[in-house]
Structure 1
Amino acid sequence: MAIHSTAVIDPGADLAPDVEVGAYAVIEKNVQVSEGCQVGPFAVLREYTILGPRCTVDAGAVLGGLPQDAKFKGERSYLRLGADNQVREFVTLHRASGEEASTVIGDSCMIMAYAHAGHNCTIGDEVLIANSVALSGHCTIEDYVTIGGLAALHQYTSVGTMAMIGGLSRIVRDCPPYMIVEGNPAKPRGVNLRGLMRRGVSEAARDSLRRAYRMLFRSRHNISDAIAQILAQEPDPGPELLHLIEFMRGMDQGSRGRQRNP
């Protein structure tokens, strides 16, 4: 274990034997740091933060800060990160609000400098969050999403798998899976074809998503009518199209375009 002499580590923290900790880092009690992790200089791991294997926390990042939620009364809650995540300089990730609740980051994510994820967010696997992105509380980000720099997401928004959000976007409604979403306020601009190809989605599935995009976002149909038209045209929909349809149904049934909005 390579721990700098100026690092402050509470005796109640649980660190794997090979963890590296940089100068002036602070690790509080009830923190768990798994094998292969690196904690950079001046980083802070607050109480009830759990790091999976081989995570890197860069200089000045603060993980597990108290939730910025007026309802929070000091109850035990968590920030949980999976394996192989990169958390870059001055990122802030807050633990959850609510007894035994968790803010969750999946595996193999890159969270770039100065980004923020608020309390009770759930972020999937292989998500890329660029510099200075702000996720409000209770956001849900599915797998393989890319969020461009300085984008801001309203609380309770959901972003579907393989979606790409353009930089500087203001997200106040859910972002459908497989789509490029951009603007202020943001709206779907097209299918994320390059991302789909990178993930090995078939040409037939990509074509069906393009047809669905035109029906959902470029016609005068409401969501329920557009879904009916899509299913009439696609008698044997694949898993990607079915996921898009279910996501859009959730948006339609939710509040203010957010399926998880209370």
Structure 2
Amino acid sequence: MKQPLAYIHPEAKIAPNVVIEPFVSIDKNVVIEEGTTIASNVTIMEGSRIGKNCKIFPGAVIGAVPQDLKFAGEETTAEIGDNTTIRECVTVNRGTKAKGKTVVGSNCLLMAYTHIAHDAIVGNNVILANAVQVAGEVVIDDFAIIGGTSAIHQFVHIGAHVMVAGGTLIGKDVPPYVKAGRERISYAGVNSIGLRRRSYTNEQIRDIQNIYRYLFQMGLNNSDAIERIEAEMPASKERDEIILFVRNSQRGIIKGYYPDKA
């Protein structure tokens, strides 16, 4: 439904049943798929790709050029998957030549004032609470939940099924299935409640807990911990995913619990 008080560039490709409210601005080279609702005062800029059945709330800006000095005007995209909700004043910048695109997956919730910087890759079923700040080239895997006002450093990788406490400064990679928080960020246990909600069995959760005992509670370095895990823990999808994550970490993974200083 085209609203006469909205600006829609004639080259934008918009499905017939998209709802566009007054004072929306939609630039050229934009694709918006069926069932999506664009609320008042949303700006969707060149290079944006919006999936099906999304809800975008007032004040959001999708596809603005990156806040990155190496950006030289190259053609890049900002891509939003299906069934994703983008709340008030969220900003999603498009990519640079580093990756060519910024991606937010399907079934995500980006709460108010969240920022997604250039070339970030956000998986499916991710929740970013109010005012989470995601720097460039961050990767957030499926089902992660990041608490409000947390700030994620450039190039950080956050694994699947992670829960991070609100207000956390995230400067290290966070491996899958864990809870993390505190200052400085550290391991706070396995996200067992979230895993049970997603039909992980008690046996699977116990195995994940045992794996993280090697990594965080036995005083081993990561290489020795992985060697012990491979030798002593039964092979499983979860075990192999954790091992691969730790081995591939570029910034290093978070550490075990740091007690508060007196």
Shorter-chain TM-score range? over 0.9
Instruction: Kindly provide the amino acid, as one letter, of the partner of residue 238 in structure 1.
Output: S
1:249 aligns with 2:259: no
Cα shift at 1:99? 7.7
CA contact (8 A) 1:171 1:184 kept: no
Taking a change above 3 Å as real, the CA distance of residues 215 and 256 of structure 1, as seen in their structure-2 partners, is closer
- CA displacement, residues 154-176 of structure 1 (integer Å, 9 cap, x when unaligned): 00000000000110000000011
CA contact (8 A) 1:65 1:93 kept: yes
Q: Could you tell me how far apart the structure 2 residues matched to 1:256 and 1:76 are?
A: 32
- CA displacement, residues 180-214 of structure 1 (integer Å, 9 cap, x when unaligned): 01122211110000011111112111101111111
- CA displacement, residues 11-35 of structure 1 (integer Å, 9 cap, x when unaligned): 1111100111111110001110000
**Alignment match, 2:32:** 33
Over the matched positions of the two proteins, sequence identity in percent amounts to 34
**Alignment match, 1:54:** 53
Q: Could you tell me how far apart the structure 1 residues matched to 2:29 and 2:36 are?
A: 16
Unpaired segments of 5 or more residues in structure 2? 255-262
Q: Could you tell me how far apart the structure 2 residues matched to 1:204 and 1:100 are?
A: 39
Cα shift at 1:230? 1.6
Instruction: Kindly provide the amino acid, as one letter, of the partner of residue 106 in structure 2.
Output: D
Given the two structures, how large is their TM-score scaled by the length of structure 2? 0.94
Cα shift at 1:135? 0.3
Unpaired segments of 5 or more residues in structure 1? none
**Alignment match, 1:90:** 89
Cα shift at 1:5? 2.2
Q: Could you tell me how far apart the structure 2 residues matched to 1:149 and 1:99 are?
A: 28
2:103 aligns to what SS in structure 1?
A: strand
Taking a change above 3 Å as real, the CA distance of residues 111 and 95 of structure 1, as seen in their structure-2 partners, is same
Given the two structures, how large is their TM-score scaled by the length of structure 1? 0.94
Cα shift at 1:71? 0.4
**Alignment match, 2:258:** none
Q: Could you tell me how far apart the structure 1 residues matched to 2:44 and 2:155 are?
A: 25
- CA displacement, residues 211-262 of structure 1 (integer Å, 9 cap, x when unaligned): 111111112100010111122221x2211121011111112xx34559xxxx
**Alignment match, 2:148:** 149
CA contact (8 A) 1:76 1:100 kept: no
**Paired residues for 1:62-101 under 5 Å:** 62-98=61-97, 101=100
Runs of 4+ in 1 over 2 A off after TM superposition: 254-258
CA contact (8 A) 1:75 1:99 kept: no
**Paired residues for 1:188-199 under 5 Å:** 188-199=187-198
